[in-house]
Amino acid sequence: MPALESAFEFLFKYPRSVFEAGDLGIWGSGSGSLLLPAVVVLTAGALSAWSYARLGARRVLRGRDVALLGGLRALALALLAVSLLDPTLRVLTVAPQQTFVGVLIDDSASLTIRDDDGRARAAFAQERLLDPAGDVRRALEQKFKVRFFRFSDVARRIQGETLAFSGARTNLAAALRTVREELADVPTSGLVLVTDGADNVAGPLSETLLDLRTRQLPVFPVGLGRERFDRDIEIARVEVPAAVLQGSSVVASLSIKAAGAGRGPLNLTVEDSSRVLSAQEVPVTAADSSTVRISIRADEPGPRLLRFKVAPIAGEQVAENNQFDVALDVIGGREKILYFEGAARFEAKFLRRAVQDDRNLQVVTLERTAENKFLRLAVDGAEELAAGFPRTREELFSYRGLVLGGVEASFFSVDQIRMLSDFVSQRGGGLLMLGSDKTFGEGGYAGTAVAEALPVALDAKDAIDSAPADATRAKDERFQWLKVSVTPLGASQPVTQLAANESDNEARFKALPPLSSVNRVTRIKPGASALLAGNSVGDSPAEDRVVLAFHRYGRGRAFAFPVQDSWRWQMHADVSVDDASHETFWRQMLRQLVNGVSGPVSATLSAGLVEAGSTVAIRADVADETFIRVNDASVTATIQTPSGLVREAALHWTVDKDGEYVGEFRAEERGVHEVKITARRAGAVLGEDVAHVRVDDLQVEFRDAEMRGDLLRRIAAETGGRFYTPDTVSRLAEDLTYSPKTASVVDEKELWDMPALFLGILFALSMEWIYRKFRGLA
pLDDT at 46 over 80: no
User: b/e map of 164-194 (b: 16 or more CB within 10 Å)?
Assistant: ebebbbbbbbbbbbbbbebbeeebbbbbbbb
**Which pLDDT does position 88 carry in this prediction?**
81
pLDDT at 67 over 90: no
- What does the alpha-carbon distance between residue 106 and residue 121 come to, in Å, rounded to a whole number? 10
Q: Classify residue 676 as exposed, middle or buried by CB count within 10 Å of its CB (0-12, 13-18, 19+).
A: middle
Q: Do residues 238 and 252 lie in contact, with contact meaning Cβ atoms separated by under 8 Å? A: yes
Instruction: Assign 527 a pLDDT band (cuts: 50, 70, 90).
Output: very high
Q: Do residues 302 and 333 lie in contact, with contact meaning Cβ atoms separated by under 8 Å? A: no
In this structure, the number of other CB atoms found within 10 A of the CB of residue 54 comes to: 11
702/776: higher pLDDT? 702
Check if CATH label 3.40.50.410 holds for domain 100-228+706-743.
Answer: yes
Which of 349-363, 568-582, 736-750 has the least mean pLDDT? 736-750
387/50: higher pLDDT? 387
The DSSP secondary-structure symbol of 390 reads -
Check if CATH label 3.40.50.880 holds for domain 335-594.
Answer: yes
Instruction: Assign 30 a pLDDT band (cuts: 50, 70, 90).
Output: very low
Would you state the CATH architecture of domain 601-695? Answer: Sandwich (2.60)
pLDDT at 431 over 70: yes
Summarised one tens digit per residue, pLDDT across range 253-311 is: 999 988 877 767 889 999 998 899 999 888 876 556 788 888 899 999 999 999 999 99
- The mean pLDDT of the chain is 87
- What does the alpha-carbon distance between residue 670 and residue 570 come to, in Å, rounded to a whole number? 48
Q: Which of 742, 707, 704 is nearest to 221 (CA)?
A: 707
Would you state the CATH architecture of domain 232-331? Answer: Sandwich (2.60)
Summarised one tens digit per residue, pLDDT across range 566-589 is: 999 999 999 998 999 999 999 999
Q: Do residues 609 and 327 lie in contact, with contact meaning Cβ atoms separated by under 8 Å? A: yes
Helix (H, G, I), strand (E, B) or coil at 288: coil
Taking residues 198-221, report their average pLDDT.
Answer: 90
Instruction: Assign 445 a pLDDT band (cuts: 50, 70, 90).
Output: very high
Same fold, 100-228+706-743 and 335-594: yes
**Which pLDDT does position 36 carry in this prediction?**
58
pTM: 0.77
Alpha carbon of residue 525 to chain centroid:
28
**Which pLDDT does position 63 carry in this prediction?**
61
- What does the alpha-carbon distance between residue 327 and residue 14 come to, in Å, rounded to a whole number? 57
* Domain residue spans of the chain: 2-93+747-775, 100-228+706-743, 232-331, 335-594, 601-695
pLDDT at 60 over 70: no
755/604: higher pLDDT? 604
pLDDT at 2 over 70: no
**Which pLDDT does position 29 carry in this prediction?**
45
